[in-house]
Structure 1
Amino acid sequence: MSEQEPPITDQPPALRPVRGAAHCAVAALALAALAWAVRAVWHIRLAMTGQPASGPPDQGGGVHRPLTALEDGYHLVSSVGAAVTVVCALAFLSWLDRVRDNARALSGAQPRYAHLWLFLGWIVPVVNLWIPRGVVADAHRSVFPDRPLPAVVNWWWGLWLAGLAGGVGIVYADPTDEVIARAYTDVLPLLAADVVIVAAAGTAALMIRTLTTAQQQRMDEAVRPGA
């Protein structure tokens, strides 16, 4: 006769270390900001050099002319920036996953958004305009219902959306040859988008430090003897 299995209960997850994940996310955001600053420098160099007499790299009809050395360099900068962005996204999501689990453990409340939205919320059109911010806000408010949401959360999200609207944002990027052509003809919108994305990365790092510090203090209180 087999032993009776204990009933399955939906217990809150155990507290998870969050400082290390926060440090990794902040470092990744710093690298992403540096990558976009270098990209801005290349935009300026392309604009100052001017478009070659042979026209833009993509000449239509599937015809591409040979790239100049500067254009080749921009392709390399763009590829490195894309790789850094992937690392940054993974580090940010790892931090957010820990913060979300800790919020559930500390508050005993179920998160407002299912775990799947932690990832899908960034890529599903329309809902990606508010769900990622909602996941962050819910994790903080569930632990600190009596505190206002830190203003840095709204600054981060506003700058993120502005960066996406620039047409060369972190998630939705134009083809590299098209960006090169834009740099030759109208570089100011590209530079504006670069500045906004760098600012968004800096604000995200500040948000991570702010929310991590608050949650870590509550975690220390929770594990303190007699708490």
Structure 2
Amino acid sequence: MSASNDLRPRPLLPAGVPRSSRGLLAAVSALLAVVALGDLFAVFAGARIHMLIDGDDAFATAPQQELDAAYSLYETAGNLQAMTYVPCAVLFVIWFFLMRRNTGLLAPDRFRNGPGWAIAAWVIPLANFWMPYRIAVDMWGASTPLPDDDEPHRTSIWPVNLWWGLFVFSALFGRYAASRYDDAETLAQVQDAVAQYMAADILDLAAAAAAVYFAVRLTTMQRLKASQGPYRKADLG
């Protein structure tokens, strides 16, 4: 059937709107919580190094053995962050793609690109600083409840803005702090770099919390929208 023969903007779906998995949302939220705990551990390890270096004279205030132990703990914290971040990122992108696919069935007119871009947008250099955000905004709009008495709902997108702003800023600031730490040659430079790393970890922790809130809100909105007409009622689990 051609598009000209079907003028309904949101037709009934043959198999209903796919359910939004609460299990996947719970798994994503749990991994984001683990990432946040890793950030908290890194802040603790960084604070230990920072306190072992005198801020004014930039010399070690503890024996070399204790300072080496603090460096070792800090390196362990960094390794744990890397180990938890990768599976969390993979699962989050899977959830992001499935949400894009489902919300696309609710309001296909809201999107400019196909569902595959919900994955590709994350791996294209430079574009990955903007395209996922645009897709998230489109998903948010597509999940907005249907109008009541011809009055459209106006749902603020601040959760999307907060999550994406924290995510991008923490990523960029983290890279800057990493370069400062790698280039540090004196204790004073190490102390400054660690302080910046701690700030980046706190930002990343906040971004993880904002991501959980964004994911829960979007999933809740999508499930509510799917339970309304003109769609066939699906098993929402």
In structure 2, distance between residues paired with 1:186 and 1:143: 42
In structure 2, distance between residues paired with 1:87 and 1:183: 30
What stretches of structure 2 of length at least 5 have no aligned partner? 1-12, 61-66, 147-151
Residues 12 and 75 of structure 1, relative CA distance in 2, 3 Å threshold: farther
Q: Percent identity?
A: 27
- 1:193 is matched with which residue? 200
- 2:158 is matched with which residue? 151
| 1:149 shift after superposition | 4.3
- 2:233 is matched with which residue? 224
Letter in 2 for 1:28: L
State the TM-score, normalized to the length of structure 2.
0.71
Q: What SS does the aligned partner of 2:227 have?
A: helix
In structure 2, distance between residues paired with 1:75 and 1:206: 30
Letter in 2 for 1:18: S
Residues 212 and 223 of structure 1, relative CA distance in 2, 3 Å threshold: same
Q: Deviations over 1:133-159 (max 9, x none)?
A: 111111222343843343110011111
Equivalent of residue 202 in structure 1, options 191, 199, 209: 209
- 1:37 is matched with which residue? 40
1:64-75 matches, cutoff 5 A: 68-75=68-75
Q: How many residues align?
A: 200
Over the aligned positions, Cα root-mean-square deviation in angstroms equals 3.2
Query: Are residues 1:47 and 2:47 paired?
Result: no
In structure 2, distance between residues paired with 1:23 and 1:122: 22
- 2:121 is matched with which residue? 121
Q: What SS does the aligned partner of 2:195 have?
A: helix
Query: Are residues 1:20 and 2:23 paired?
Result: yes
- 1:63 is matched with which residue? none
| 1:99 shift after superposition | 0.9
- 1:57 is matched with which residue? none
Equivalent of residue 162 in structure 1, options 155, 169, 179: 169
Is 1:46–1:70's contact at 8 Å kept on the other side of the alignment? yes
Letter in 2 for 1:76: T
In structure 2, distance between residues paired with 1:177 and 1:131: 31
Residues 84-93 or 71-80, more deviating = 71-80
Is 2:174–2:201's contact at 8 Å kept on the other side of the alignment? no
State the TM-score, normalized to the length of structure 1.
0.74
Is 2:38–2:80's contact at 8 Å kept on the other side of the alignment? yes
Residues 107 and 131 of structure 1, relative CA distance in 2, 3 Å threshold: same
In structure 1, distance between residues paired with 2:190 and 2:33: 25
| 1:116 shift after superposition | 4.1
Is 1:18–1:216's contact at 8 Å kept on the other side of the alignment? no
In structure 1, distance between residues paired with 2:72 and 2:155: 48
Q: What SS does the aligned partner of 2:71 have?
A: helix
- 2:136 is matched with which residue? 136
Q: Deviations over 1:42-99 (max 9, x none)?
A: 111111223888xxxxxxxxxxxxx923222222221111111011112211211111
Residues 175 and 88 of structure 1, relative CA distance in 2, 3 Å threshold: farther
In structure 2, distance between residues paired with 1:216 and 1:133: 21
